[in-house]
Amino acid sequence: MVLLGIDPGLRFSGFGVFKKEKGKTSLLDYGYLKMSSSKSLIERVGVFHDFFDEKIKKWQVTELALETPFLGRNAQNFLKLGYLRGLLYLLAGRYNLQVHEFSPREVKLSVTGFGGATKEQVSRVILKILPGVKNVERDDVTDALAVCLCGVWKSRLARLI
């Protein structure tokens, strides 16, 4: 199993890739995609698609983990994030990926043991669990790694049932 976890965003999209093989889980890749706000939405959507299409092919991803969106203060941002999620569903269909979705509360609970954890708390726990993760500049990366870990752990449980 190779799982890609993504925290999609219109300016920054965090990601993490884990491989689980013979009971061992290893981190293959992590980071973020930065998209210029000076580019049009159409250009950013294209960059997003191409970036994650390449990640899926490069790492031979078999599963995708996403956090379910919540409607914050800006309905327009919520709608535009839907475009990115739609592209991820398209890629999942194209490559026959199993998709795991988790609420923000479920991800926080899974990683920190507390569903109301802050981004800073999630980040601290991720950096302790994954000591090889260095120089993380953005919460988008630790958020994506948290979603990815949640996917790895939940996927294992789903196969046991």
Identify the active-site residue in 7, 63, 139, 143: 7
Kindly state the percentage of the chain with pLDDT values over 90.
66
Identify the active-site residue in 63, 67, 139, 143: 67
Q: Is the predicted pLDDT of residue 80 greater than 90, yes or no?
A: no
Question: What per-residue confidence (pLDDT) applies to 161?
Answer: 32
Q: Is the predicted pLDDT of residue 76 greater than 80, yes or no?
A: no
Higher pLDDT, 68 or 148: 148
Question: What per-residue confidence (pLDDT) applies to 24?
Answer: 87
- The CB density around residue 71, as the number of other CB atoms within 10 Å, is 9
Tell me if residue 106 is catalytic.
no
At 81, the pLDDT band (50, 70, 90 cuts) reads confident
DSSP string spanning 69-117?
P---S-HHHHHHHHHHHHHHHHHHHHTT-EEEEE-HHHHHHHHHS-TT-
Give residue 70's domain range: 2-160
Question: What per-residue confidence (pLDDT) applies to 136?
Answer: 84
At 160, the pLDDT band (50, 70, 90 cuts) reads very low
Tell me if residue 120 is catalytic.
no
Q: Is the predicted pLDDT of residue 103 greater than 70, yes or no?
A: yes
Q: Is the predicted pLDDT of residue 93 greater than 90, yes or no?
A: yes
The 3-class SS string of 14-80 reads EEEEEEEECCEEEEEEEEEEECCCCCCHHHHHHHHHHHHHHHHHHHCCCEEEEECCCCCCCHHHHHH
State how far the Cα of 93 lies from the Cα of 142, in Å rounded to an integer.
26
Q: Considering its fold, how many domains does the chain have in total? A: 1
At 79, the pLDDT band (50, 70, 90 cuts) reads confident
Question: What per-residue confidence (pLDDT) applies to 56?
Answer: 98
**If you average pLDDT over every residue of the chain, what do you get?**
89
* CATH label of the domain that carries residue 7: 3.30.420.10
- The CB density around residue 139, as the number of other CB atoms within 10 Å, is 19
Tell me if residue 50 is catalytic.
no
Identify the active-site residue in 101, 137, 139, 140: 140
Q: Is the predicted pLDDT of residue 159 greater than 50, yes or no?
A: no
